Amino acid sequence: MIKFFDLLSSIIGVINRSIAIIGITTGVALAFINVVARYAFNYSLPWASELTVYLFLWGMFLVQRIVLKLMGIFQLVCWLKMFQNVGPKP
C-alpha cells in the first residue's frame, strides 16, 4: 500500500512540476511578446498583462509543493521564527 502512495505522489509531483514549468514559461514568453509588440508595432495585447499575472501566481503556487518537498518544513519554521518578534507588542 505504501508503494502505491509513493507512486501516486511521484506521478502527482511530475504533473505538478510540468504544469508549473509550462505556466511560468508561458508567462515569461507572453510578457516578452507583449513588450515587443508594444514598442516595435505600437500595439499592446490588452489581456496579456492579466494573463501573465495569473500564470505567474499559479506557477508559484504549484512550485511551493516542490520546494516544500525538497527543502522540508525546517525552512518554514526558520522563516516563521525570524519574523515572530516583528510587529507591535501586545
pLDDT per residue over 36-74, tens digit each? 999 999 888 889 889 999 988 888 888 877 777 776 666
Residue 87, in any domain of the structure: no
Number of domains making up the chain: 1
Residue 88, in any domain of the structure: no
Residue 16, in any domain of the structure: yes
Residue 56, in any domain of the structure: yes
Are 14 and 28 in contact by the 8 Å Cβ rule? The answer is: no
CA 76 to CA 90: how far, in whole Å? 24
pTM over 0.75: no
The overall average pLDDT reported for the chain is: 82
Q: Where are the beta strands (DSSP E) in the chain?
A: none
> Does position 25 have pLDDT exceeding 80, yes or no?
yes
The whole domain housing 58 covers 2-82
